Structure 1
Amino acid sequence: MKEITVQEVVEKMENNEVLNMIDVREVEEVRGGHIDGIVNIPLGLLEFRMNELDKKKEYIMICRSGGRSGQATAFLQEWGFDVTNMTGGMMAWEEEQNK
C-alpha cells in the first residue's frame, strides 16, 4: 500500500499541485474540520460511490488517524485505482497545522 505523510501533502499543496483527496470519515466528523478541497465519501458508502472516481487519477485517502483510509486504500487498489493512504490522518494534519 502506498503511503504519504502529512508533510508531503503540505509540500504538494504549497507547490500548487492538484490533489484529489477523499476523506472517508463520517459527515459529522468532516463538519468538525477538514482539509480544503477534499471530497467526503464515508467509508461505508465507498463501494457504492466508487463509480464517481476516475481510474486515470491519483487519489489521497484521509480519515481521522489512518485506519479507515488504509482500508479504503486497500479496497480501491483491488479495483484498480491509484490510491495512497495519508498516514496519521487528520490527527497528524491538525498537529502539523499547529506547529
Structure 2
Amino acid sequence: GAAGFFRELHTAGGDVIGVDWRINIDQAWMDIGYRSAIQGNLDPAALFAPLPELRTKVLDLLRRTGTRPGHIVNLGHGILPETPVENVKAVVQIVREFHK
C-alpha cells in the first residue's frame, strides 16, 4: 500500500487521499498533514457486524475525525457484494445523526 508514502502523496499535490482501514487514521493525518482531506478508513467488514457493534465502530471513526475538516466518511476499500443493505443505510444514518 501507499501508507509509507503519505507525505509524498501530499507533496505531489493530492487534495484528497484515500486511507484504508488497516492504517491508524491519527497517524495518517499527521503524515499527510491537515491541508489534504482524507477519505475512508472504515473497515468494509464492519458492515457485517451487528448494528450495535457497527454503530460503535462508526462513532469511533467519527470521534477521531469529527473536529478536523476534510474527512470524507467512506470505506477503507470497496464494498463487498454480500454487504447487508440495511447496514449501509445504518452507517449513513449514524453519520447524519453525529453531524446534527
Settle same-fold status: TM greater than 0.5.
no
More strand by share: 1
Task: From the CA coordinates, give the structure whose radius of gyration is larger.
Answer: 2
Taking structure 2 as the reference length, the TM-score comes to: 0.38
Higher relative contact order (CA 8 A, sep 6+): 1
